[in-house]
Amino acid sequence: SGALNYPCFYKIKVSKTGMNMDNTFKISRFGKYFVYDLKRQWKNIGMLMLIFALSPVIFYMLYMFFAALFDGGLMKLFSGMSIDGPSIWVRFGMAAVMITIFVMLFPSRAYGEITDKAKGSEWLMLPASRLEKFTSMMLISLVVIPLVYVVVYFLSDAFVCLLDKSCGDSLMSFRINKEIGSSDFVIPANGFWILASSIVGNAIVFLLGGLIFKKWKVVGTVLVLFALQMVFSGLLSVFITNADLDWWGNWFADWTIRHADSIDIWLNAFINLWLLLILAICGTWSWFRIKRLQH
């Protein structure tokens, strides 16, 4: 098992009352555990991540295959005309779908087995403190895996664009405001930060769901999110029904005019605060879930 192959460097204190494990956070021990955890998660979700990260190439091949079968593709080929590849907006939509699905799947696939009696007991017996395990879990789930996935995904998309110039620019150069091309409609906070915050925020939510639910982890998390959305929608409906909408509309219009030159700053601040709130709640809940976990 994984526990048997793990290097034994955990300090054990022996006293008259028995053995007490050193449960403090130590950098040297954490580094060894982090490397072990990386290798372990590569075995758990490496293939899943590669399939999703290389999906731009797979999607391009399927797109061109069906384009050749339908929409006059075969006639174009016989007449010497080329078939245009998927546009940047099509690939942007595909990226949004694939990233969303991957972020929903990988946290429970990586660490959901902790709730299993056999594998969870093995994980608890690994020679590292729970704080070291928690820190490694957060770094891998919120930084390492999303970063590697996004980099490989964008490189795959860039390869497709290099292979077929009809696809246009790669997603690495994609900006919503640039693609819209209208000075009357501008989206503040435009860039990779929205993508990064969305991935991190959703990853920690589904990681928490994977630690709470023993079965149907993704489905259970989605149902809870749906229930919360229904509650907030109900509260919003009550507010709209009883609020003075004219007053709120005038207040928002005046506020927008006063802060027209710094809307992007305010929106980025809102995104940052919302992300920090999600990280604080789900991270704290995950920590206490791990701290109190017993099998």
Question: Per-residue confidence of the chain (295 residues) as pLDDT tens digits?
Answer: 444 455 554 444 433 333 344 567 888 899 999 999 999 999 999 999 999 999 999 999 998 888 877 765 555 555 556 778 888 889 989 999 999 999 999 999 999 989 888 888 888 888 889 999 999 999 999 999 999 999 999 999 999 999 988 888 888 877 666 656 555 555 555 557 778 888 999 999 999 999 999 889 999 999 999 999 999 999 988 888 887 778 888 888 888 888 777 777 787 788 889 999 999 999 999 999 998 887 6
- What is d(CA 108, CA 134) in angstroms, rounded to the nearest whole number? 15
Q: Is residue 256 classed exposed, middle or buried when 0-12, 13-18 and 19+ CB atoms within 10 A define those classes?
A: exposed
CB-based contact 61:38 (threshold 8 Å): no
| pLDDT at residue 111, rounded to an integer | 93
Q: Return left, alpha or beta for 187; rule: phi > 0 is left, psi -120 to 50 is alpha, else beta.
A: beta
The encoded tokens of residue 66 equal 């069906």
Q: Which residues pair with 20 in a beta bridge?
A: 13
Q: What is the DSSP letter of 262?
A: G
| pLDDT at residue 195, rounded to an integer | 83
The terminus-to-terminus CA distance of the chain in angstroms comes to 17
CB-based contact 148:49 (threshold 8 Å): yes
| pLDDT at residue 157, rounded to an integer | 94
CB-based contact 134:233 (threshold 8 Å): no
Strands 18-21 and 12-15, by their bridges, are: antiparallel
| pLDDT at residue 102, rounded to an integer | 95
Radius of gyration over every alpha carbon of the chain, rounded to an integer in angstroms = 24
- What is d(CA 207, CA 137) in angstroms, rounded to the nearest whole number? 9
- What is d(CA 266, CA 260) in angstroms, rounded to the nearest whole number? 10
| pLDDT at residue 10, rounded to an integer | 47
| pLDDT at residue 14, rounded to an integer | 38
